[in-house]
Structure 1
């Protein structure tokens, strides 16, 4: 019988310990879903595309714009971040079936993202500078149409519409960067207004009434037509990866492929410099001595040996970048009275709060107060989560000194606690001061054992009792 009781107590204690600890999770960091569901050939829009051999901008046909959508199988989260992957191919080739885009989608979905790989309209007259500019603009319109599609059907695909990101490779990065920096009609290239007019940024593909602007962009070896597009309001997060020896899309500036018929473009170096000028530095991965698609792809397709060693590095940096975009930012301040400390949450983007006081006790309050019972140095950790279950932590050290031999706690009792209107303080003392959580005095009495707090707001207070042997501070809950 005794063995049974001891075993039961041990099991209860083990469950309590596990549930009390901080709720760390690996979602978005590692593979947490065993399988992925894929919806293929989803039509997200329809738009006029050039007819081969792309010699006339007026010779078009209506093309369905398709995407494949990857989701973590069995996921119960109702709002998830989305990554839209946009393939390479110089606006002449490639598709949503490119190897690298499929692998990005698969890996991201296994980690808890929704991911999609999209087709966009291809085709241009390579002998016409104006035609190449219009090809990029059509791609920009299609990327924005994909964003609008997911905003329209956010409930169906369980998307957080504030966390929609574009990831592009080469030509796909042109689309992503234009999405970030070309977001007004004033910034439209003049070549897009006639012969025929391609329409506004969100006037093609579908008619869903949402903005097609993404919340963050990953640009892999991409460029913009002009860095004057980057202005002081372009504060959204950007990740840039580029080989410094790239001779297809130049790291600095130059004509793509070295072909003068294409307009000169500005690569990741001037883009990062211009963005930093306005106080919004991009995250970067610039590699010396390597060229275009340096993770081992050729127009988005792997060779017989698959991706090279750079693939894991690029993916890890992309994954870290996305997590930083959607995680909350933990922050707090603290005020202490003797052995009682108050913690004030200053986090952004948090919807859950968890505290580890370092002494084996925990709290799920946003702004807890804690009474330390033993002298020592304690590392207090705040963990915050948001509705995506992304999390962040921060910590501080608290030093507590309590003299056991002269501890004035022994004969000071405050009751009832919690209370609604009146507290009684028993023991030998001279002064009682009642403080709110900000440390401001709200009551003070001398040699009185009862304090009426009926008219004080509900919340946590601190009772500071001056005795002949020292000062006692105890937590009080007013309901």
Structure 2
């Protein structure tokens, strides 16, 4: 099993984005990035990093503030990008909690940035899925902005191999989705009308939006299953009595989300490095303020995040990779898996060996895809289909890129689940009138136990039914006593999970 530092270096190798020879050495001697060695911080405000059309249909210039330590450290520096809270309706990059964290980490030697992102125009036209996806797009544009700058004159002297994202409340939700929502099917499950793919069109196309780790302060994720083996490490701090973004799960901004307490067991199960610090009996963002109690929570938040990040600042010198990979995904299509990847730069590249593993440890070759252009500075797209028979359980896929001299670099892994309990869920009628029986129709291709749950808009569990299914179709009646409102239906069978919205009028 890899140590935390080894995992960090692995991610650094895989995601290094460079136009020339950039060394990824981070000097952590003498208390760098641990002690506040730099008393003064300079702030460059109102830096444009992108532009996009907001939910009101108006063009919006996206801005960020950059915090840098005065007087050091020498060489290239790691970067932390933070996003503010505010329910995706309000808040700004100057909010106390994110500004304070940017300042504290800059005093350690980091370059930090607090970003704008698009907000919903009104509670009356609010769309939770749209808000999360647009904010994710904008954070990814901010990551790409700094990588684009690093490939040029690099005015902020950041090391593009060491980019962390995080946030508070809605900003933490943004950061978690930036880190873990990385498949078209995942995006479609929460926002099927998204026309801009996984990256969005907020700016700085052609550069990677991958990150080394994520910082989750009172945030949540749309689905714990999006955390997969080989994914980014993350650190979480969360009040166990949080009434806004639940510590475990509940409806947030109109959608069922999973808080820090639900993400940790998932990450542990798939061996993704993570730390959870629960603020026992605390509410939402208890560190956001300047009274004595709030400052004590802020001190704890700073220390926990600092201690989590520092081991990722490796000492190795990382040479430039022969390939700049901007996308790599593996998705299930029926009984097969389809792998797709894109590059924006290739140098002396022979091609890609596609490898597969049943346990994520021992890999074997499936096939080889030759480079479309071994020396390219334009976008190249590749695809490979795994049509082997008899697939079951989890299959881990990775790419072994081989240059003309025989040297190799690895990308991935990505995980595809082949579970026989394929599950389809429908609710009818929907919307349904009060005192009318709504019916859930389940269609499954496999046998096994299943669980059906119904939550109201506040996350309260109203209906919980255990089922023992065999292959076939089932109909389950829901209560006729539901008051008017919006409800979230969730059905789980094995590794399959489906959600549906139910409206009672």
Regarding TM over 0.5, the answer is yes
Aligned to 1:231: 228
8 Å contact 2:41–2:70 — kept in the other structure? Answer: yes
Q: Where has structure 1 moved over 4 Å in runs of 4 or more?
A: 124-129, 303-306
Structure with larger Rg? 1
Structure 1 runs not aligned, ≥5 long: 1-22, 52-59, 329-348, 352-479
SS in 2 for 1:153: helix
1:276 aligns with 2:275: no
1:307 aligns with 2:306: no
1-side partners of 2:66 and 2:103: how far apart? 10
1:247 aligns with 2:243: yes
1:39 aligns with 2:37: no
Structure 2 runs not aligned, ≥5 long: 1-27, 319-505
1:214 aligns with 2:211: yes
1-side partners of 2:122 and 2:65: how far apart? 28
SS in 2 for 1:307: helix
Aligned to 1:182: 181
2-side partners of 1:100 and 1:44: how far apart? 22
8 Å contact 1:223–1:265 — kept in the other structure? Answer: yes
Equivalent position to 2:307, from 302, 320, 339: 320
Equivalent position to 2:114, from 111, 114, 117: 117
2-side partners of 1:104 and 1:42: how far apart? 19
**TM-score if structure 1 supplies the norm length?**
0.57
SS in 1 for 2:211: coil
SS in 2 for 1:67: strand
SS in 1 for 2:59: strand
- Return the offset for 1:32: 1.1
SS in 1 for 2:46: strand
Aligned to 1:390: none
2-side partners of 1:167 and 1:178: how far apart? 10
Q: Which structure has more RCO (C-alpha within 8 Å, separation ≥ 6)?
A: 2
Q: Measured at CA, do residues 151 and 304 of structure 1 come closer, stay the same or move farther in structure 2, by a change above 3 Å? A: same
1-side partners of 2:234 and 2:32: how far apart? 22
- Return the offset for 1:100: 1.0
Aligned to 2:282: 290
- TM alignment of 1:88-107, pairs within 5 A: 88-107=85-104
2-side partners of 1:43 and 1:24: how far apart? 34
Equivalent position to 2:141, from 132, 138, 145: 145
RMSD (CA atoms): 2.2
**TM-score if structure 2 supplies the norm length?**
0.54
Aligned to 1:434: none
- Return the offset for 1:127: 5.8
- TM alignment of 1:357-376, pairs within 5 A: none
SS in 2 for 1:175: helix
2-side partners of 1:291 and 1:306: how far apart? 12
Q: Measured at CA, do residues 109 and 61 of structure 1 come closer, stay the same or move farther in structure 2, by a change above 3 Å? A: same
